[in-house]
Every structure is written in structure tokens, then in C-alpha cells.
Amino acid sequence: MNGFVTLIWFIIIFSVVVVSHEFGHFIIARMNGIHVVEFSVGMGPNIFSVTRGDTKYSLKLFPIGGACMFEGEDGVANEDGELSSGAFPNAPVWGRIATVFAGPFFNFILGFLIAFIMVNMIVIRDPVATEVLPDSAAAEAGLKDGDRIISINGEKVNLYEEISLYTAVYEYDMKPFTLEYSRKGEHISTALTPKYMPEYGRYMLGISNSDFVELKGFDNFKYSYYEMRYNFKMVYKSIGLLIRGRIGRKDVAGPVGIAVNVVGKTYEETKDLGWRNVLVNMLNILLMLTVNLGVLNLLPLPALDGGRLLFLLIEVVRGKPIPQEKEGMIHFAGLVFFLCLAVFVFFNDITNVMGL
């Protein structure tokens, strides 16, 4: 039963993330007069499809992806095999840029909406050290109860949870912090190296927080932005660690790993705490994944939205597009690479799930 519930949560979360992304492409394409040949949710063979107007809407077997296919993009033509006036290459360049960018942008819109819901369901903690643990890194650096963390390594800190993000990154990089904090209106900067605390089983600064923020006025919007920013930080810092080779294969997860090790374990740990706790944690996973998809798709790599945006921006600078055949070959090479990567991630998930 738990496995079935996990599967349902996984399908809901992935479907919402994918649909928001593809709907962004779809709605902005339609606004710019671009013909959408097919809007699909899932991958693999069709289990249901319907045609409305000149667009086919499909639901496919495997709920791990989706597509919004435009006429004239990557060789997709209309039924006559020719390109109509609504084909993607025939649209104004800024209309095409808006259409491609809309997918990741709608992921961020979804992320903000999810963060807004969460902010009204959870407790918010400012980055204030209500207690500095004895013999901790923070105590050795001179921090005292009541000090407010302003920034770490020059990056502004808005939420108490962000401090844990920096200590998590430290476990991979092992680089000391430059920490700025305020005490009675005075700003103080200090160097600090997190210490491994055996009783907690991880590296920590050694501060705790028990004061919750009372939201007033437009605070909901402000802290929704902070939650979005926090997840954005997690993504780009993880990408940085991956590029620098600080993250191993056991730290990488695809759909199977997310379903079992993230969604499944989260449900198991929270199901006895009530539906509200389960919902908040699932919304948190949804927030993390939608921001993740938005950021990754903006990377300037072939076959991704970021790669297509790069070609469109080159077209703006040159005043004419890159020949479609050449661009198509580059995106095809990127697609082959990502398909190979997907196979690797799948088997990596299996080995991680089985503990190999």
C-alpha cells in the first residue's frame, strides 16, 4: 500500500512540474501565432489522445516527461509536409525567444505559488542564533546568543535553513566560511570553519533557532521569494559541486531515485504525523523539482531550452538565423547525449536503491 501511495505522489509531483513547463511553451507559442503540433504529458506510447483545432493533446504511458512540439522545429512539419505561416521558424525572433524561455519561467512561477502556499503552512525562522552551542565552531568564532547572520561567503542569508545549505556544501568542499553577522546594530565579519559534531553526525556551525517569524502584511510574498531563492541556491550550488567533481554517482538521482529515496522515504517518515505534514513535505519536493527543472533547462546546452535560446540570441546579433540543418544537428547530438545520460542515471538509480 505504501508503495502505491508513493507512486501516486510521484506521478502527481512529476506531472505538475512537467505540465507547468510545457504549458509555458504552449500558451506563449499560441500568443505569438506559433502552431503547436502536439502537447503531450509523459513519454513512450500513447494511452490517450485527442485533437482540438490543429493541436493533438496526448497522455503517454511513462509519467517522466512531456513535450510541446512546434511546427517547423526539429523537422516537425504539418500534415502536408510543408511549413505554414504559423511554423516556429516563421515567427518573429523575439516571439520565439519568449516561447522558449516561457517553459523554465513557468517553472519558476509554479515554484513561487508553491512557496506561497508553504509559507502559510509552515513556521518561518530568521537566521538568528537564539542559542550558540558550547565548544562549537560558532562559539569559537565569537558568536553569541541573539546574533543575526547577515551573509555567508558574501551571499545574503534570509532564512535560518540556508545556514544548513552552506554547511552541507562544506562537507564536499571543506573550505572555511567568511561569515558576517550583526550584534546590537554592529556588523561583524569573521572566518569560521564548521566542526563535525558526533552527536548530530554532521558538520555544523553550532547555532540553534527557536524564534518563529510572525507574518504581517506582505511578508507572505517576501518569504515566498526567500523560499524560492533558497531552492535556487541549492540547485546552482549542486551544479557547481558536480562540475568540480565534488559529487559522486551516489549523490545523483533520476526519476527512480527521486520516487524511492525522496518521495518514498519522505512519505514513510511523515505519514504518521498527519496529512498536513505529508502535504507540506510533498510541496517542498515539488518546489525543489520545479526550480531544478527551470534552472537546468536554462543551461546553454544543445537540446535544452538554454541551448535553443543561445542560437536565438546569436540570430539577434547576426541579424539572420543559423542554418536550420546545422542547428538541428547540434541539438540532435545534444539529444543523443541526454538519452545516454538518462540511461546512466536510470541504472545509477537502480544500484543506489539496491544499495550496490
Q: What is the pLDDT of residues 304-346, one digit of tens each?
A: 999 999 999 999 999 888 888 888 888 888 888 878 877 776 6
Q: What pLDDT sits at residue 251?
A: 62
**H/E element, 58:** strand 55-70
Q: Where are the domains of the chain?
A: 93-123+219-356, 125-211
- Rounded Cα distance between 100 and 304, Å, is 10
Q: Where are the alpha helices (DSSP H) in the chain?
A: 2-31, 93-119, 137-140, 161-173, 219-243, 255-257, 265-270, 275-297, 305-318, 324-353
What are the tens digits of pLDDT across the range 31-55? 999 999 999 988 888 898 999 988 9
Mean pLDDT of the chain: 85
pLDDT tens per residue, range 142-181: 899 999 999 988 889 999 888 888 887 777 777 788 889 9
Task: Decide if 324 contacts 89 (C-beta within 8 A).
Answer: yes
Instruction: Read off the pLDDT of residues 219-242 as tens digits, 9 standing for 90 and up.
Output: 889 999 999 999 888 888 877 777
CATH of domain 125-211: 2.30.42.10
Q: Which of 104, 114, 109, 69 is nearest to 87 (CA)?
A: 69
pLDDT at 202: 82
